[in-house]
Amino acid sequence: MSGETHLDFTANSNGHPSAAPGNLAFNQIELRRIDKRQAEVKEEKDGTLVATVREKISADGNELTTTTATVGHADKITVWTRSGGKKVPNDFFAGEWTQDLGKSRLRQGSVLKIEADGSGGVRFLGDYSYTARFDGKQYDLKNSRNDTVTLQLVDPHTVDASYQRDNQVTQKDRWVVSADGQQMTLSTTATLETGQRLTEKLVFKKQ
C-alpha cells in the first residue's frame, strides 16, 4: 500500500494473523476474503483489536468502499475511485485508488458536548473525550487513535486544536463559533492511517 506514506506487508486471505510493521496505528492484520468483491481486515496493535475494515468493490470494479468500525466511534465510510493499474480478473482489489471526498463519510451526525471544567479549561465529549486548557500544553485523549491534544485560543470565537500520535502531529482542527453563538464550524486537516491526506468541514448547531 503506497500513499504519502508506504506500508509493506504480505498477508494471506485466510484470516490468519500477519505482521504489518512500520505502521503507527497497528502492527498486525488478519485478512479474510469474503468473496471476489468483498474482504474484511482486522487491525491489531500488540494483540488488541484496533479496528475492523470491511472493503467492497463495485460491480464495474472502479469504486472501492471501505467501512472502518472502531469501538466507541461511529463507522467511517471512505470511497475510493480507481485511478490506475490494470484490473485483474481474479483480484478486483489490485490497482491504484484515489479517495473521493465527495462520497466519503467520516463523522456525519456527530453529537458533541463541550462544557467548562471549572478551572479555566474545557471538557470535550464526542467520538473521543478530553479535558484541556488553552495553554498550548499537551493533554491526554480518551477513546481516540491520537494520543494528545493541544488547544490555543485564537480569539473569543476561534480555537485551534492540534492532535499528536507517537509524537507526530496527525490532525489539526479549527473551531469557529458564529457571532450569535448558535452555530459552530469545524475545519479539519488530517493524515489517515493509510497515509492519505484528508480535509473536512462540519457544521454543528446548538441544541
Task: Tell me what pLDDT residue 137 has.
Answer: 94
Q: Do 95 and 117 belong to one domain?
A: no
195 is a domain residue? yes
pLDDT tens digits for 165-185? 888 898 999 999 998 888 888
**144, 197: one domain:** yes
pLDDT of residue 172: 93
- Most confidently modeled of 3-12, 30-39, 86-95? 30-39
Asked if residue 124 and residue 42 are part of one domain, the reply reads no
Residue 108 falls inside a structural domain: no
pLDDT digits (tens, 9 = 90+) for 109-158: 556 788 888 888 899 987 788 999 999 999 999 888 789 999 999 998 99
End-of-domain residue from the set 47, 76, 99:
99
Domain that holds residue 159: 113-205
What pTM was estimated for this model as a whole?
Answer: 0.50
Same domain, 82 and 120: no
End position of a domain, from candidates 41, 68, 99: 99
Domain count, the chain: 2
Same domain, 82 and 151: no
**Domain membership flag for residue 39:** yes
Indicate whether 145 belongs to any domain.
yes
Higher pLDDT, 53 or 190: 53
Residue listed under C-alpha cell 451526525: 109
| Cell numbers standing for residue 82 | 480507481
> 140 with 94, same domain?
no
Q: Is residue 8 part of a domain?
A: no
Claim to verify: residue 22 and residue 90 sit in the same structural domain: yes
Q: Is 4 a domain residue?
A: no
Q: Are residues 60 and 19 in the same domain?
A: yes
**25 and 80 assigned to the same domain:** yes
Query: What HEC string does the chain produce?
Result: CECCCECCCCCCCEEEEEECCCCCCCCEEEEEEEECCEEEEEEEECCEEEEEEEEEECCCCCEEEEEEECCCCCCEEEEEEEEECCCECCECCCCEEEECCCCCECCCCCCCEEEECCCCEEEEECCCEEEEECCCCEEECECCCCCEEEEEEEECCEEEEEEEECCEEEEEEEEEECCCCCEEEEEEEEECCCCCEEEEEEEEECC
Give the list of residues 6+ apart from residue 167 with CB closer than 8 angstroms, or none.
none
